[in-house]
Structure 1
Amino acid sequence: MQCRLCDSERLTSVLDLGATPPCESFLDRDQLDLPESTFPLHLRLCEDCLLLQIPALITPEDTFTEYAYFSSYSESWVRHAERFVDTAAERLGLGADSFVVEVASNDGYLLRHAVARGIRCLGIEPSVNVGRVARAAGVPTETTFLDEESAARVRAEHGPADLVVANNVYAHIPDLRGFTRALRGLLSDDGWLSIEVHHALNLVQLGQFDTVYHEHFQYYTVHSAQRALAVGGLTVVDVELLDTHGGSIRLWARPDAVAEPTARVSEVLELERAAGLHVPEGYAALGPRAESVRLELLRFLLDCRAAGKRVVGYGAPGKGNTLLNYCGIRPDLLEYTVDRNPYKHGRYTPGTRIPIHPPERIDADRPDVVLVLPWNLETEITAQLRHVGDWGGELVYPLPVLHRGDILGDPVAAGAMETKVNR
């Protein structure tokens, strides 16, 4: 394996999660007696450019031609997108004469707010089923994978973009250098690029190992993102720390020499340096942290089983499938899970084969414990499921440390379970 950014062969192991199925390869009932393909899930660090990465063992076409994830099912994520469009429009002076492109635009969760403002826009979305939903909602969307060729075609047809948005896609591209050049190809010479991506600082410091899965090919600090964007002649000029997805960064980049970086870029780089992430040794703690989370969660679920408690899940996100497979959690410990996305109803989680039902199943069954797999949406989900406390049920979140969601007004936990998370 060579580093996909700098071609170095000096790659060191950071976290080995074993072999698992791709996290979005949900199973139909008629597939339960068939074998599943599994692939190593092994995170490594390039000792030269410090890019965290996994081998490209599956292709984007394997994952994104037909996709199970629809952004609009998360209310907090839609509100986050609306706030971004509002602030970006004010910051950049976007209006009817502007052009905004979103790469990996999903079901139009973000660009629908640009449409509402009368801003000319285009979504580039590779998933046929998801793009169809966006167009039905009135968001202009082209079904294609972004590469240098498609970027040149979009620019020729629509003109250069004043703003290109790439939320939670910069990690999903194995051809990192070509994709970065394609982003630059969409931009006008004085345009802006906004990228949101999970911050490797949180991944390492908080042990967020479940954000590692096969469709995430690399994981960024600001330091490594600067090096990646430089391949396309782009300079990081600003950075924001976000709460989304367990802690993300919003990188603002522009074509070289257009603007000087703000002080916030230096401030976040210093946070990373102080955490040890500008040297290979700083990444060594991730493996032991992941192991600690696994053991604590398994102890809790085994105690529930011994006590005769009924435990079900909430959500069927990609990160949840990494957690379930790494921990070896199957229907004997987690009877089923539920999800708001109808696409997943009647299917089964990859590898662990836990059935997925509509959310109403929880109200009908009144389980003792609901294990929330999309723990990064704790505030939103705790509000949605507060009524679980009416029958004495508990919400439990597995990360960053195992803890209860406070739905009973009583944050006191049993045993070794933590009740508060350092944020």
Structure 2
Amino acid sequence: MTQQEWIERDFYADLGVPSTASAEEIKSAYRKLARQLHPDANPRDKAAGERFKAVSEAHAVLSDPATRAEYDKTRQLYRSGAFRRAGTRAGAGARPAGGMGGFDFSDLFGGEGSAFSGEAGFGDMFGDLFHRSGFRTTASSRPRRGSDVEAETRLPFRQAVTGLVLPLQVSGPTACTSCHGSGAGPGTQPRRCPSCSGAGTLTRNQGGFGFSESCDDCRGTGVLVDFPCTDCQGTGVGHRTRTINVRIPPGVTDGQRIRLPAHGEPGLRGAPSGDLYVTVGVDPDPVFGRDGDDLTVTVPVGFAELALGTTISVPTLDGRVSVKLPAGTPPGRTFRLRERGVPHRGRPSGDLRVTVQVAVPSGLDQKAIDALRAYEKAEKATGFDPRADWVGRR
């Protein structure tokens, strides 16, 4: 869709709603028409397919509040005749181009001496509107920042907690190593396009309007490459697999994204590269759990160890440590070991929380059974009742 077609298009009429329609009314109208006109429901009806496309384009503009507001303002200017006035330069003898006040969008929105040069950011607004709507613009000759790149990796729990430097292979577009992104063969340089004088756009007059369109000779780049680089066919962009050393900070969590600036796709015409975002997945650990910066571990113990007291050996990230259990320790009690958890740079590490849990034996021999029977009698003789304070008795 050209700029002229876009500016003359009435998206409200496409959806059958007034310009004052609410967001919910626009959404409802689109859903109704989309069901009626969908190609799956009209496989042999080309007219329905074209209508479905028009309805989808209208919804894409009007469903976004910012885009809709900019579209409404542009349409208001169009109906008010501001475009015609913008085509006339101030000064004696000024005459509209094309005989009826022709204009260039760049003159109207922000150009020197334009009708709206005093409104900061208006040109950017109009360009952004076309960009978000998915329609063709004439800004392809401008430098463009490279796209961001997404990558994923999985780590064992303990590596994620302690941190590491991980070599990560990333495949995708990158600046051609032969021409360094220029697109020109060895010993040559791109030259300015004579058709558009390096602007990347050409202006044509139609009726009372002038429209800027991408230059066909240079395809909007503003330059011509007479001897293209054979490695990238003149695009300046290659495709290769590269290894990047990613520093995983200590304590990274499952699903966390790590940003590496300027490690994404290369920018066009000298613009900066995009960023690389690495999403880290963390595998569970058979021993440790995690609660924020604290590590948790459950240690099985025997009843006699809790009743009589003992010292147990507990695993840590870097080895083992001894924990003393006093006599009469109840099952489920948690002991906190300071700064034995998730490490951090510049601030204290988390703690290690050790919970003791009674392990009940199975398959006892007769000697062990007799010993437990004797203990049971001795326990009752002391008057001990394990359910004495149990609220379930009430």
TM-score per shorter chain, which class?
under 0.3
Larger radius of gyration: 2
> Which structure shows the bigger proportion of residues in helix conformation?
1
Normalising by structure 2, report the TM-score.
0.21
TM-score normalised by the chain length of structure 1: 0.20
